[in-house]
């Protein structure tokens, strides 16, 4: 993959940092976005919810992301008559702090269990998954391990393994002091510089550890166990996730679909939100 250094690549990796304004609880979820916390697996997990449709959908954010930072156009514009949309902050991210974020060998499995248990705590018996980047990996694991609970799944910017090429990319963003001010400042405001910098370094250490495993697998062995209808979206100009990762996932999930966006980069759901939302809603119907 042609690695784009500097601001462009960093912008593609980091969550959109213009925060979506939230309102307090309302009588109807029709147009409002509510914000709350609920205890799951010993952690007070923060989530946002909107819509009143019978089809529940969970949005799973990327590294250092949250529902609020990563999914503004989806929370605002997805069909709220058809869907009930939940966007969560994984433990240690966004407003699900404490605890501090850490990256044990099973951190993706832990996130998958937290996500599924959150939706069950919210009384959703079955739901679909929309996972971006790290959230896409979490979604793949959740769909494989909890098949009876997952209706459909969409993933983008995800990978089922870590190659040496990926390791070089990840190490390129380890030191946040080298990031552009435009990208760095909003995350510093969200997390504070110390937490932001330490969490980024810890993430790089955690994700690159998979490259030491046979084949660099994160969840390759789980893909054949995914039974739900699955849509993989790939931006052909993604500087962080080469196309072969999307193709590998597609080839190993039976019956899955691969949709390519020629101009899409890593944050295609933000940059091309209208096209993305339309494609996803048609698939989820």
Q: What positions carry a catalytic annotation?
A: 133, 238, 266
**Whole-angstrom distance, CA of residue 34 vs CA of residue 28:** 10
Contact call for residues 174 and 204 (beta carbons, < 8 A): yes
Q: Quick count: other Cβ atoms within 10 Å of Cβ 89?
A: 22
Cis peptide before 142 (omega within 30 of 0): no
**C-alpha dihedral (127, 132, 138, 141), degrees to nearest 10:** 70
Contact call for residues 131 and 115 (beta carbons, < 8 A): no
Element (H, E) at 9: helix 7-13
Look at the chain and count its residues: 285
Report the candidate in 78, 83, 67 with the shortest Cα–Cα distance to residue 127. Answer: 83
Q: How many whole angstroms from its chain centre is CA 261?
A: 18
Q: Quick count: other Cβ atoms within 10 Å of Cβ 103?
A: 18
**Whole-angstrom distance, CA of residue 190 vs CA of residue 41:** 24
Which residue(s) pair with 34 in the sheet? 49
Cis peptide before 98 (omega within 30 of 0): yes
Which residue(s) pair with 44 in the sheet? 39
Where residue 97 falls (left for φ over 0; alpha for ψ -120 to 50; beta otherwise) is: beta
Residue 32, classified by CB atoms within 10 Å of its CB into exposed (0-12), middle (13-18) or buried (19+), is middle
């Amino acid at each position: 993959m042609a690695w784009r250094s500097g601001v462009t690549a960093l912008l593609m990796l980091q969550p959109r940092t213009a925060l979506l304004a939230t309102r307090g609880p309302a009588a109807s979820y029709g147009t409002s976005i509510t914000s709350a916390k609920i205890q799951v697996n010993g952690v007070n997990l923060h989530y946002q919810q909107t819509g009143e449709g019978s089809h529940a959908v969970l949005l799973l954010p990327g590294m250092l992301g949250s529902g609020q930072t990563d999914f503004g156009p989806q929370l605002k514009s997805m069909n709220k008559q058809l869907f009930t949309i939940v966007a969560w902050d994984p433990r240690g991210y966004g407003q699900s702090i404490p605890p501090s974020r850490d990256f044990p060998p099973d951190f993706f499995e832990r996130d998958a269990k937290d996500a599924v248990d959150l939706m069950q705590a919210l009384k959703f018996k079955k739901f679909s998954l929309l996972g971006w980047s790290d959230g896409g990996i979490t979604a793949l694991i959740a769909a494989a391990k909890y098949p009876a609970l997952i209706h459909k799944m969409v993933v983008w910017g995800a990978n089922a393994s870590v190659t040496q090429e990926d390791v070089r990319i990840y190490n390129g963003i380890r030191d946040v002091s080298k990031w552009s001010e435009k990208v760095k400042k909003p995350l510093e405001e969200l997390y504070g510089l110390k937490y932001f910098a330490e969490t980024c370094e810890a993430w790089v250490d955690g994700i690159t550890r998979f490259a030491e495993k046979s084949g660099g697998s994160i969840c390759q062995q789980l893909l054949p166990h995914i039974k739900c209808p699955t849509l993989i979206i790939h931006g052909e100009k993604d500087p962080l996730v080469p196309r072969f990762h999307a193709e590998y996932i597609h080839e190993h999930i039976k019956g899955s679909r691969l949709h390519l966006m020629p101009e899409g980069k890593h944050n295609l759901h933000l940059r091309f939100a209208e096209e993305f939302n339309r494609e996803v809603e048609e698939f989820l119907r």
